[in-house]
Amino acid sequence: MNNQPVYHIFSPDAFINDPNGLLYDNGWYHVFYQWNPLFPEGKRIGWAHLRSTDLIHWEDLPPALLPDDWYDRNGCYSGSAIIKDGQIHLLYTGNVRNAAGNREVYQCLAVSEDGEHFLKYPGNPLISGPAEGYTAHFRDPKVFADKDAYAFVLGAQTTAEQGRVLLYRSPDLLSWKFDGALQFDTGSPLGQFGYMWECPNLFALYDTEQQQTHAILLFCPQGLQADGMHFANRFQCGYVVAPGPFEGIRTFCGCTSFEELDKGFEFYAPQVVHAGNRTLLIGWMGMPDEEDQPSKTENWMHCLTVPRELQLKNGKIHQQPAVELQALRGSKRTIEMLTLENESLLLPGFSGDCYDMQLTFDTTQAQTVTIYLRQNQKQSIIISFADGILRVDRSHSRYAPENPIRQVALADATKLQLRVLSDRSAMELFINAGVEAFALRTYLDEDAVQTKVAVNGKATLTEAVFFSMNRA
């Protein structure tokens, strides 16, 4: 059985996790990611490197970073990239376990003149150890241009074990000065919001409804307790939006409440990049400390999401697959204006394990609409919509660890638009033009390929479009 994705980034002989160093330069998209080629027997974390001109055909390049120096000997951990003087600069966290087994952390730099081969800065590390008042959980620098200079945000933990995002500034990418923690309102729930914040992104998005640019802080808090439909994963990923323009980035006072970015099962450590007039995001379709997936027997683990384009509308991020993915579409099937009343139906021709499908329903008179994705006699991914609540259930699959259901409340109970990107063991769902998204791994048998719709009450499938997806 082949679980390997066709159009999601993965490594066929390695464990991968966080995307790193997302960069767009001179028509090239660069993606780096955490990479352990010794999996599952050993651990040696470096950075793999891919590049593309179209976000679908990816060229493998030599590993950008390997843990072969004293300051990163136990792993080249997450970081980011920026162009300076025509060269790619990588900032990353060097992880070290000392003789006593205690963690040491170093923020480091590597530079490439040709975009393929990287040399570590002879003056590494740039920053030795955590800032005063913080523990060695101090990592994941995300760098950006700051007027005529540079800055990065960094995930951190206070000595009181509270998560924070710290800000550093530099005139040259070499000498860095601590500029404090990002500030929130006094008494804000964000003051005590998990014990560690990982993989922060600080960036600007233009709100198309409010017609104003806002600052977005995207981060991954660890230690949140499940709360109804919220915070169901082991660790979370979400964002807050500042009320004004992208200025005065030390403060997020008056920001929105924390909003989970993806409501699915496997989504963590995303990274954002501005590419021309678009803002793109790629996330890790995995979760820390969850390594029991069936692909382990094949000596590989995890993949990345497809590139997603972000838009901000009335303070909420909407996500859609990058338009370039449409170039992978093959044969097309369509259905229009199919009304179902207290019945179920296999959708003819909507069959496969690798596809791009969109289903649009008028649910005004329906009690429940249920969609069975990748179905055979015993298995399927079940999407149900009732009373404005969308549920995703993978309990009927070969990979269904604890808590196999995720759900979200939608603002409009009278319609449902579901776009499904299925890619063998990877699936991404985009709901109502991207107002919500779900990423999940879908290990199913080879004959689990059918699509079925069942309706309690009356619903109309106003439009259905199915494309097979071809290998890039």
Active-site residue list = 18
Q: How far apart are CA 244 and CA 51, in angstroms?
A: 35
Backbone angles phi, psi at 247, to 5 degrees: -145, 160
* Residues 291/222, Cβ–Cβ less than 8 Å: no
What's the half-sphere exposure (Cβ side, CA atoms, 13 Å) at 93? 27
Contact (Cβ atoms closer than 8 angstroms) between residue 167 and residue 156: no
Chain centroid to CA 359: how far? 24
Beta bridge partners of 352: none
Look-up of token digits 């097309």: 332
Contacts of 23 (CB under 8 A, 6+ apart): 29, 30, 81, 82, 83, 88, 273
**Which contacts of 30-39 are long-range, i.e. CB under 8 A and separated by 24 or more positions?**
30/81, 30/88, 30/115, 31/58, 31/282, 31/304, 32/64, 32/65, 32/81, 32/90, 33/9, 33/284, 33/304, 34/77, 34/78, 35/11, 35/63, 37/11, 37/13, 39/14, 39/15, 39/299, 39/300, 39/301
